[in-house]
Structure 1
């Protein structure tokens, strides 16, 4: 989820302009991940904090304060089933991930469980990169900019990572419709920089 300041005057009906704001205008964002425990991750410009549900009292308690995404990691998350649908730059980055050795920070492991929340959450904590590129069949991407890409981009940047659509910083993209789709890459700073080197092949 995302929180924005409304553009229209207080006390008047909201308009589409209140929602079609670039991600950089977010003042807060968050998500809830369910598993062996239930965790709420909440970010403001002051930092990212995690709260775990304590079932004995029925409340969330802070369990992860001031979360910082490691600058690099050994996990890459992408749907390999679409490999030949991806651009040459994305394919090259995937090949680099597969070829990593101890000499250059590897070996990497591929973890993709089909839940962006779970994949990005793990990479935020442990370091890693999540990729959902555009494909030949879906040239505009699949994920929704406003309520999937923007919240995670905001959270990751506050935590020290980066996020892009492949050509532009996600938070700078000006939305034109509520359900606008986008390609999406998000993760550890150093891994994102190496990805962008490969994506330059597509320009």
Structure 2
């Protein structure tokens, strides 16, 4: 008997597995935000700027502007810790997504965008209280963006967790496999039809 919707079922299992890559996940709190009046010319965090408190769920609509986010966090005294960030758009996929640069203690660490939401914490910060600053670009309309709809960014989450390498490896392997199958032609010899044997 042919197993129907095999691809859809595997996609569902892969998506379910993704959350288990992170152990003891919790929020990074006490964020503040300041709009950059210099329109991106400021390269490093300005400690004298006017900041306002924000939290997950906060939204803003500025177009082609820059903003700074900041907080302090006590990092766990453990290896393989990751920080997870999402400041993405809640809707229109034709718009450019969020882009940013993460600074730790005033030094740039890693770029952030919708494809790079995960930041591995360097061992030198392990067990220390650090200053986090994020320079965010608010985006523009994409080539096929609907200019009648405002670009709305949303602070979705900023978390810290421990990466489970075994689960992470399994997730990435399965994700690569199913993504490859999805782009293969239906009549490709490399695309296998999964069947389930009937037992009596």
Output the TM-score relative to the length of structure 2. 0.29
> Which structure is higher in strand share?
2
Higher relative contact order (CA 8 A, sep 6+): 2
Which is higher, the Rg of structure 1 or of structure 2? 2
> Which structure is higher in helix share?
1
